[in-house]
Amino acid sequence: MKQLVILSGKGGTGKTSIAAAFAHLLSLDGVPLRAVFADADVDASNLELVLAPRIIIREAFRGGLYAEINWEICTGCGLCKEVCRFDAINARSMPKFHQQMSHHYPESGMSGVQIQNLPLVDPIACDGCAACYYQCPEGAITMQDQIVGEWCRSESRYGPLFHAVLHPAQENSGKLVTLVKQQARLLAMDENYDLVLVDGPPGIGCPVIAASSGADLALIVAEPTTAGVHDMYRVLETANHFNIQTLVCINKADIYPASAAEIEAFCRERGIQVVGKIPFDLAVTEAMVQGQPVTLYAPSSPSSQALREIWSKVGAILQTEGM
Amino acid sequence: MKLAISSHDGKFDTPISDRFGRCRQFVFVETETGNWQAKLNPASVTRGGAGAQVVQFLADNGVEATISGRYGPTALTALEAAGIQAYIATSGTPASLSEKFLANELAQVNTAKD
Amino acid sequence: MLIAIASGKGGTGKTAVATALACALARTGLSVACLDCDVEAPNAHIFIQPDLVHRKPVEMLIPHVDANLCTGCGECAKVCQFHAVVVLGGKTLVFPELCHGCGSCTLVCPEGAIKEVPRVMGILEGGLSPDGINFGRGVLNVGEPMAVPVIAQLKKWRDLMDAEMVILDSPPGASCPVVESIRGANFVLMVTEPTPFGLHDLRQAYDLTRELDITAGVIINRDGIGNSDVEGYCREVGLPVLLRIPLEREIGEGLAQGKTLLEIHPEYEVTFRNLYTQIAEKIAQSAVIDGVQ
């Protein structure tokens, strides 16, 4: 069983559109691969929009511990504020801070000065480190968890899809990504699938690291623009740092041919295979509007042709012995 | 000595799971007697830092050596600290691999990079 | 005034908009700062062309355990919420990449065996652009998981936030790096594209601005592709669409080469000045509403 992750560095290079095309292509006759899909971009999970999934399991995701201070017990010693390194206690820029304060004021009968000294935790800024919890001499602090998202197992047109939504403003440390990916892997092992295909997030930080962990192969979708090339170098370095074999494909390849040539030259120097170039093609967006992969919606379009060639190479590499 | 072999279904004669940190189960083998037992890996669906947790679990079970296909860097650092030897095998069953281990046919992983 | 440029979906044109707005405003004589908060994949410097003469490493304090003093009691491991400190084989191990730098383990060690040492995880770079923009960016080191501390330090660096006008180019998404970038802004300008992916992610971004209670507006980029669902959604939730940038090969190619929108279409200088006027009006309107409540 192999694991392929699709990455980019820069956002919007076409990862999800390509992942959807691959999902469609591997379901066709002549391609002997069965796959489980994982959408690891939990901030912006778009793969479901083009794979027509039917949700069969939906689970809440708890996480994002934050500190809560019990004002009945709190003596206002201020130690929690001193130890907090995340500006999460009494940060004045916190919205609704004054609202909460003035709400408490008439009930408690405390003076204005006393109210100002009471510590108030901003749950969004709170890192969940629990330093304040352990340091509070009165035991006035508890760590609360909350539902910060949900994950789903769906049946899509081409196989099982695991995806998730992280609620806005929540911490994306990669835990939800790990969970989605791990669920996909376990199902794939249980039911003898050949492949876990992970649609990765943009960037190079923990969501990307979590999405790539354990991958046999990373396909980097490069955009031939000055910005895109810049970010491609960084994500390539990241994949290298974690010892993951990489392939590159160039999307919207005709926007800036000099840049595409730069990418090809760079890859040649490093011995990285460029598996194909996809021209800019409005059919991709038209397919998206119809909720379909472009290879299904417009099979004779230039992008579909390029994608078929790319997939046949990627599929062959995945099935190589010792890969 | 006690071996831990990463597994998916916890059977003695089915192929090993090639990932160390998040495999679903481990098959423990007593090399002197050949007795074996499967246990669920508590770090399999853990949120973060699986590497250290799984090594803690193995250390608590008295494991002295592990066999798996791929180890993450955190796991390797933890294994080294715990004094557990890590061996590589990308195919084979717990049955065949414990024999290879006894015959010194398995390669050890290089220690974690600093 | 702080204006943050966000999006939800990646690649919609945040940096193109942020840099155009910064340049247009700098040319009116305002003191303008532009902060590239997309520390995982920073690109704004390509367009703004600053002279990056200032540099500062971004450090996080992580624990270092003195093995001679450590008794292996495990109190440090007990309090660590991130599995960054673990006791194995009688030794206390620290995994720096997992550490959040909270200092909790250092506080609880009964033997005083832990002291904190700085660890470099990124860099801040800054300088002036030809337009006189005070530019700053953060760059997360490859292999480092956490963007947030780099963004937090960037926003406190030098006098960037003192400018009359601060433009914050934020990362894609709607989670902690975006929160850290846009927190404290007077206005969030969300750049979207009129496609199903654009709409899906715009909803997330808009919910985020509601969560943080920041006034928001939308720019539709690549207008002409996709469908009208984004316009419909904006109308439905009362999100003002402040500008539409058409899908145009010339714009795509120009941006690909690192040209700003103002270089590609000089008339956009007026467009972006007007955009700012609209934003200032929206901010004033919402201040009135808040005052009444």
Give tens-digit pLDDT for A85-127.
998 997 544 445 555 555 555 555 555 556 666 788 988 889 9
Angle A122-A124-A129 from CA coordinates, rounded to 5°: 85
Per-residue confidence band for C138, with pLDDT thresholds at 50, 70 and 90 = very high
* Residue A62: pLDDT over 60: yes
* Residue A47: pLDDT over 70: yes
Are residues A272 and A234 part of one domain? yes
Contact B52 C86 (CB under 8 A): yes
Are residues A290 and A266 part of one domain? yes
Mean of the pLDDT values across residues A42-56? 95
* Subunits with 3+ C-beta pairs closer than 8 A to A: B, C
A323 touches chain B (CB under 8 A): no
How far apart (Å, rounded) are the C-alpha atoms in residues A252 and A235? 18
Mean of the pLDDT values across residues A152-176? 91
Number of domains forming the structure of chain A: 2
Quick: pLDDT tens for A66-88. 999 988 888 888 899 999 999 89
Task: Please name the member of A49, A170, A226 whose beta carbon is closest to the beta carbon of C175.
Answer: A170
Quick: pLDDT tens for C249-289. 999 999 999 999 999 999 999 999 999 999 999 999 888 77
Domains in chain B (CATH in brackets) are: 2-108 (3.30.420.130)
The answer to whether residue C277 is domain-embedded is: yes
Are residues A124 and A186 part of one domain? no
Pick from A17, A49, A81, A129 the residue to mutate for testing the C interface (most C CBs within 10 Å): A129
Q: Domain of A285: which CATH number?
A: 3.40.50.300
Are residues A269 and A237 part of one domain? yes
Q: Domain of C196: which CATH number?
A: 3.40.50.300
Q: Domain of C87: which CATH number?
A: 3.30.70.20
Quote the domain boundaries for residue C7. Answer: 2-58+122-292
| Nearest residue to B40 (alpha-carbon basis) of B57, B55, B56, B52 | B57
Amino acid present at A111: S
Residue B74's pLDDT is 86
How far apart (Å, rounded) are the C-alpha atoms in residues B45 and A98? 41
The answer to whether residue A11 is domain-embedded is: yes
Are residues C228 and C268 part of one domain? yes
Are residues A135 and A78 part of one domain? yes
Are residues A300 and A168 part of one domain? yes
Quick: pLDDT tens for C178-217. 999 999 999 999 999 999 999 999 999 999 999 899 999 9
Are residues C165 and C82 part of one domain? no
Contact A223 C11 (CB under 8 A): yes
C41 touches chain A (CB under 8 A): yes
Are residues C107 and C131 part of one domain? no
Q: Give the chain A residue whose CA is nearest to the CA of B48.
A: A175
* Residue A199: pLDDT over 60: yes
Between the CA of residue C256 and those of A150, A205, C103, what are the distances in Å? 37, 24, 44
Are residues C259 and C197 part of one domain? yes
Pick from A148, A165, A204, A284 the residue to mutate for testing the C interface (most C CBs within 10 Å): A204
End-to-end CA distance of chain B: 29
The answer to whether residue A57 is domain-embedded is: no
Are residues C138 and C93 part of one domain? no
Are residues A245 and A196 part of one domain? yes
- DSSP-assigned beta bridge partners for residue B26: B6, B39
The answer to whether residue A95 is domain-embedded is: yes
Quote the domain boundaries for residue A72. Answer: 64-146
Chain A environment of C142 (Cβ under 8 Å)? 204, 234, 237-238, 241
The answer to whether residue A177 is domain-embedded is: yes
Are residues C265 and C149 part of one domain? yes
ipTM of the complex: 0.93
Please check whether residue C148 is in contact with residue C72, taking contact to mean a CB–CB distance below 8 angstroms: no
The answer to whether residue A206 is domain-embedded is: yes
Are residues A203 and A89 part of one domain? no
How far apart (Å, rounded) are the C-alpha atoms in residues B14 and B95? 8
What is the average pLDDT score of chain A?
A: 90
With tokens 């003695």, the residue in question is: B12
Predicted TM-score (pTM) of this structure: 0.91
Chain A environment of B54 (Cβ under 8 Å)? none
Are residues A161 and A301 part of one domain? yes
Are residues A8 and A120 part of one domain? no
Please check whether residue C4 is in contact with residue C170, taking contact to mean a CB–CB distance below 8 angstroms: yes
Are residues C25 and C154 part of one domain? yes
How far apart (Å, rounded) are the C-alpha atoms in residues C235 and B2? 66
Residue B87's pLDDT is 95
Residue A220: what are its φ and ψ, rounded to 5°? -95, 125
Are residues C99 and C133 part of one domain? no
How far apart (Å, rounded) are the C-alpha atoms in residues A158 and A311? 15
Mean of the pLDDT values across residues C151-163? 94
Are residues A241 and A104 part of one domain? no
Per-residue confidence band for A142, with pLDDT thresholds at 50, 70 and 90 = very high
Are residues A246 and A114 part of one domain? no
The answer to whether residue A152 is domain-embedded is: no
How far apart (Å, rounded) are the C-alpha atoms in residues C8 and A266? 31
Residue A30's pLDDT is 67
* Subunits with 3+ C-beta pairs closer than 8 A to B: A, C
Chain A environment of C252 (Cβ under 8 Å)? 255, 280
Residue C13's pLDDT is 96
Are residues C86 and C44 part of one domain? no
* Residue C112: pLDDT over 50: yes
Angle C119-C151-C28 from CA coordinates, rounded to 5°: 140
Please check whether residue A13 is in contact with residue A230, taking contact to mean a CB–CB distance below 8 angstroms: no
Tokens encoding C3:
């204006």
Residue A319's pLDDT is 86
Neighbours of A320 (CB within 10 A): 9
Per-residue confidence band for A31, with pLDDT thresholds at 50, 70 and 90 = low
* Residue C148: pLDDT over 50: yes
The answer to whether residue C117 is domain-embedded is: no
Min distance C142 CA to chain B CA atoms (Å): 16
Number of domains forming the structure of chain C: 2
The answer to whether residue A194 is domain-embedded is: yes
Quick: pLDDT tens for C61-110. 999 999 999 999 999 999 999 889 999 888 899 999 889 999 999 999 99
Are residues C221 and C265 part of one domain? yes
* Residue A143: pLDDT over 90: yes
Are residues C147 and C102 part of one domain? no
Share of chain C above pLDDT 70, in %: 99
Residue C192: what are its φ and ψ, rounded to 5°? -130, 175
The answer to whether residue A252 is domain-embedded is: yes
Are residues C73 and C52 part of one domain? no
End-to-end CA distance of chain A: 10
- Contacts with A, B 20-79, CB within 8 Å: 22, 24, 44-45, 47-48, 70, 72
Contact A11 C184 (CB under 8 A): no
Residue ranges in chain B modelled with pLDDT below 70? 47-48, 110-114
Please check whether residue C171 is in contact with residue C42, taking contact to mean a CB–CB distance below 8 angstroms: no
Residue A96's pLDDT is 53
Quick: pLDDT tens for C115-131. 999 999 999 999 999 99
Min distance B43 CA to chain C CA atoms (Å): 12
Residue B22's pLDDT is 86
Percentage helix, strand, coil, to 5, in chain B? 25, 25, 50
Residue A255's pLDDT is 94
Radius of gyration for the alpha carbons in chain C, expressed in angstroms and rounded:
22
Q: Domain of A106: which CATH number?
A: 3.30.70.20
Task: Please name the member of C82, C86, C97 whose beta carbon is closest to the beta carbon of B78.
Answer: C86
Contacts of C229 (CB under 8 A, 6+ apart): C194, C196, C199
Q: Give the chain C residue whose CA is nearest to the CA of A92.
A: C184
